Amino acid sequence: MKTYLKDTEATEQFGAKLWAELPTKCVIFLQGDLGAGKTTLVRGFLRAAGYTGAVKSPTYTLVEEYTIAGRKIFHFDLYRVADPEELEWIGIRDYFDQDCVCFIEWPDMGKGFLPEPDRVISLATDGNGRSLELHGNSQS
């Protein structure tokens, strides 16, 4: 599926729509350059879930964890990962054993240590808005 998101609000609204559609356990790869709207999309997802706190990119923390309405959500940003083996040191595989939603920015940095995604969302700047492509890799 391809769509155009005219502004930040539209990007957050798309994320909010995912809250209702995604299963309680899934892995979503988020692809796009810096500033493409990956964290904005996750913010929309979390706001739809009822989260009111700050939502920031986990570029320096690697992962942010949220528990909302009994659902666990992990937001990873692998941009600063120099070697995929670093993910083994933080026990990344343990996250995927849980009943949770995992958003992963820069998934190419974790090749060999990440499961196959259930969805892949690609974002790109397009004028003042964003182009979004959504691909589903499973029946979840």
Please state which of the ranges 26-35, 39-48, 79-88 shows the lowest mean pLDDT.
79-88
120 Cβ contact list (under 8 Å, min separation 6): 28, 29, 31, 133, 134, 135, 137
User: What is the DSSP pairing of strand 26-31 with strand 100-105?
Assistant: parallel
Predicted confidence at residue 57, as pLDDT, reads: 87
User: What is the DSSP pairing of strand 26-31 with strand 119-126?
Assistant: parallel
- Using pLDDT thresholds of 50, 70 and 90, give the confidence band for residue 32: very high
Mean pLDDT of the region 60-82: 92
In the CATH scheme, what is the code of domain 2-136?
3.40.50.300
Phi/psi region, residue 32 (left: phi>0; alpha: psi -120 to 50; beta: rest), is: left
Predicted confidence at residue 139, as pLDDT, reads: 46
Torsion angle (degrees, nearest 10) of CA 4, 7, 8, 12: -40
